[in-house]
Chain A
Amino acid sequence: MSDNYTALYEQHKKAGASFTDFGGWQMPLKYESELAEHHAVRNAAGLFDLSHMGEVWVTGPQAAAFLDYALVGKLSAVAEGKAKYSLICDADGGIIDDLITYRRPSSEEGVDKFLVVPNAGNAAVVAAALLERAAGFDVVVEDASAETSLVAVQGPNAEAILLKLVPAEQHLLVTELKYYAAVEVSIAGDELLLARTGYTGEDGFEIYVPNQDAAELWEALLEAGEGQGLIPAGLAARDSLRLEAGMPLYGNELSRHVNAYAAGLGPVVALSKESDFVGKEALAAIKAAGVGSTIGQKLVGLKGTGRRAARAHYSVLKDGTLIGEVTSGQPSPTLGYPVALAYVDVEHSAPGTTVEVDLRGKAEPFEVVALPFYKRSK
C-alpha cells in the first residue's frame, strides 16, 4: 500500500507526532500523550487532521434523485445547508461505507449540489461506486479528495476558538450553526466550508480547506486556541473518543459482511423512499426477517466490571458458550472503566445482561449497557 501524506505532514512532524498507517495514509497517531489529547477534547479542545477522508462532489439537475438511488437514505429530503449521515450499500445490503452528505446551495437554477464525505480507505471505492451508479442520471460526480484537506476542532471550547478567526459580522453564522449543518464563512482570510459535525461526542467543527491553505489554517487555529486549552490530537484519541460516544468505525463495526439492522443503523435506511435504491430489496428482506431484533446478532455496548479491557476480535461468552465477538474495546479514559462494542446474539443483547469476555484465556465479567457510553452534558 502506498503512503499518502497530508498537506499537514510538516506540521505534525514539528509537533512531535508519531505516525501510523491508516487507510493508506501516514497519519498522526498521537503527539505526546493520547490520554492528554483525549481529555483535552472532553474538557477544552483538540485539533485533528482528517485530510485522509474523501470529498466527492455530486452536482446536477438530478443530483438529489441520484443520491436517493445510490445511498440508503432520503437525501432529497435534506434541506440546503444541512447534512445527513447515511450508508452506501451493496445490492446484497452489505455496507460499502458510512458517510456524511452535505447539501450545499447551488448558484445555478435547477441544479443541486451535494458534498459526500466517505472514510479514508473507502474514498476511491465510494467515488467509483457513485460514478458507476450515476449512469442514466443527469449528474456530475467529481472526486476532490486529492485536493481537499479537512481539519476538525472538537471540544467545548471549539466555538470560542472559531470566533477568534471569523470576522465579527459572521459570528452569528457560527453561533447559530446547528449540529449537522454547514455554512461558508471567512476563516483566517479564506472562504471555507465550516460544518458543525464530528466524531468525538463533543461540540465541534469540521473545516474543508484546499490543500494549499491547510497549513495556514492549522497554524491559525493553534494560535487562536492558545489560552483555550487547544492541542493537536491524533488518531489514538479520535478512536477512544468515538468509542466512548458509541460511534461505529468502518472496518471494526461496519463492513460488507454486516448489515444496517444488525449494526443498529436501521433508522438510516429509508425503505419508505418511493424510488428504488441499491440494496433496497435485500435490506427490506433482512428487516422483515427480524435481523438484529429477533434473530441474528446485534451491536451492543459492553461495560467491563473488572479493570482489564476487551479488545477487537475477543470472544464474548454467556455461561461459557460463545455468543459473539468484540469489534472495538479500550479502557475509557473519561469513565474510568473498560468499554467495548460487540456483536452478540440478540437474545443476550438487552441492557443489564451479564456476559463474559475471553481476555486471553480468562473470562472476565462485562455487562451489556445502552449506547452511548458517554454523553456530554449540555
Chain B
Amino acid sequence: MSKVVAGLKYSAEHEWVAADGGGPVGIGISAVAADALGDIVYVDLPEVGSTVTAGETCGEVESTKSVSDLYSPVTGEVTEINDAVVDDHALINNDPYGAGWLFKVAATDEGPLMTGEEYAAANGGEL
C-alpha cells in the first residue's frame, strides 16, 4: 500500500504541498501517483521565476508506460526546482516525499487541498 504522509496537504491530482511555514512551499507527487505511474523516466518542471496557477498544468511526468500532466496545487512564483530529480528520476519513485520533491513556490493562493487522512481515504493510500 502506497504511503501517505499525514502532515502534508494533497490535491485531487495527486500533488502534495508541504505545510506552509511562511516561506515557499515544497511540492511533489504522492507515492500513490508515483506507484501508479511506474518507473519515471522524464520530468518537465516549471522554470524558476515563472508563475504557476492552482489547478493548472505546469509540467509533465513521463513513465515507461504513460505520461501525466503535472498540476500546480498552488498559485505563485516558482522559486526553486529540484535539479536532482531532473538528473535522477528514480528519486521520485523511491522517495516521493523527500529527495524526490519537484519544485518550490512562493504561494499567494492555493487550490482545494485535502488533508492526508482525506487523501488516503479517497485514494487508498496508507498513512
**Which residues from chain A sit less than 8 Å from chain B, CB to CB?**
18, 29-30, 33-35, 38, 236, 239-240, 307-309, 311, 330-331, 333, 360
Closest residue on chain A to residue B93 by CB atoms: A33
A34 B62 Cβ-Cβ under 8 A: no
Report A-chain residues with C-beta under 8 Å of the C-beta of B66: 311
Report B-chain residues with C-beta under 8 Å of the C-beta of A18: 35
A30-B38, A35-B39, A236-B38 known; A311-B64 Cβ under 8 A: no
Report B-chain residues with C-beta under 8 Å of the C-beta of A239: 65
A308 B38 Cβ-Cβ under 8 A: no
A330 B67 Cβ-Cβ under 8 A: no
With A and B bound together, what is the CA distance between A307 and B40 in angstroms? 13
With A and B bound together, what is the CA distance between A92 and B62 in angstroms? 39
| 27 contacts across the A-B interface (CB closer than 8 A) | A29-B38, A30-B38, A33-B39, A34-B38, A34-B64, A34-B65, A35-B41, A236-B38, A236-B64, A236-B65, A239-B65, A240-B64, A307-B42, A308-B44, A308-B62, A309-B41, A311-B66, A311-B67, A330-B64, A330-B65, A331-B41, A331-B42, A331-B62, A331-B64, A333-B41, A333-B64, A360-B67
Further 14 A-B residue pairs, CB within 8 A, beyond A33-B93, A331-B42, A333-B41: A18-B35, A30-B38, A34-B38, A35-B39, A35-B64, A38-B64, A236-B65, A308-B42, A308-B67, A309-B42, A309-B62, A309-B67, A311-B67, A331-B62
Q: How does the 8 Å CB contact mask read for B93-105 relative to A, with 1 for contact and 0 for none?
A: 1000000000000
With A and B bound together, what is the CA distance between A232 and B66 in angstroms? 22
| Chain B proximity of A288: nearest CB distance (Å) | 40
Report A-chain residues with C-beta under 8 Å of the C-beta of B93: 33
**Which residues from chain B sit less than 8 Å from chain A, CB to CB?**
35, 38-39, 41-42, 44, 60, 62, 64-67, 93
With A and B bound together, what is the CA distance between A33 and B39 in angstroms? 6
Closest residue on chain B to residue A37 by CB atoms: B39
For the A-B complex, the count of residue pairs with Cβ-Cβ distances under 8 Å equals 39
A-B pairs, 7 with minimum CB distance: A35-B39, A331-B41, A34-B38, A33-B39, A307-B42, A34-B39, A34-B64
| Chain A proximity of B1: nearest CB distance (Å) | 11
Report B-chain residues with C-beta under 8 Å of the C-beta of A33: 39, 93
Report A-chain residues with C-beta under 8 Å of the C-beta of B64: 34-35, 38, 236, 240, 330-331, 333
Report B-chain residues with C-beta under 8 Å of the C-beta of A308: 42, 44, 62, 67
With A and B bound together, what is the CA distance between A103 and B87 in angstroms? 51
| Chain B proximity of A72: nearest CB distance (Å) | 32
Report B-chain residues with C-beta under 8 Å of the C-beta of A307: 42
Closest residue on chain A to residue B65 by CB atoms: A236
| Chain A proximity of B38: nearest CB distance (Å) | 5
Report A-chain residues with C-beta under 8 Å of the C-beta of B35: 18
Report A-chain residues with C-beta under 8 Å of the C-beta of B65: 34, 236, 239, 330
| Chain B proximity of A217: nearest CB distance (Å) | 28
With A and B bound together, what is the CA distance between A168 and B14 in angstroms? 55
| Chain B proximity of A338: nearest CB distance (Å) | 9
With A and B bound together, what is the CA distance between A374 and B65 in angstroms? 19
With A and B bound together, what is the CA distance between A29 and B66 in angstroms? 13
With A and B bound together, what is the CA distance between A307 and B65 in angstroms? 15
Report B-chain residues with C-beta under 8 Å of the C-beta of A240: 64
Report A-chain residues with C-beta under 8 Å of the C-beta of B60: 360
Report B-chain residues with C-beta under 8 Å of the C-beta of A236: 38, 64-65
Closest residue on chain B to residue A33 by CB atoms: B39
With A and B bound together, what is the CA distance between A309 and B38 in angstroms? 15
| Chain B proximity of A174: nearest CB distance (Å) | 32
Closest residue on chain A to residue B40 by CB atoms: A35
With A and B bound together, what is the CA distance between A38 and B62 in angstroms? 17
With A and B bound together, what is the CA distance between A240 and B64 in angstroms? 8
Report A-chain residues with C-beta under 8 Å of the C-beta of B41: 35, 309, 331, 333
With A and B bound together, what is the CA distance between A307 and B42 in angstroms? 7
Report B-chain residues with C-beta under 8 Å of the C-beta of A331: 41-42, 62, 64
With A and B bound together, what is the CA distance between A239 and B63 in angstroms? 13
Closest residue on chain B to residue A235 by CB atoms: B65
| Chain B proximity of A261: nearest CB distance (Å) | 30
With A and B bound together, what is the CA distance between A65 and B71 in angstroms? 60
Report A-chain residues with C-beta under 8 Å of the C-beta of B44: 308
Residue in B42, B60, B65, B67 with the greatest tally of chain A CB atoms within 10 Å: B65
With A and B bound together, what is the CA distance between A189 and B62 in angstroms? 45
With A and B bound together, what is the CA distance between A240 and B35 in angstroms? 18
Residue in B41, B44, B60, B64 with the greatest tally of chain A CB atoms within 10 Å: B64
| Chain B proximity of A58: nearest CB distance (Å) | 36
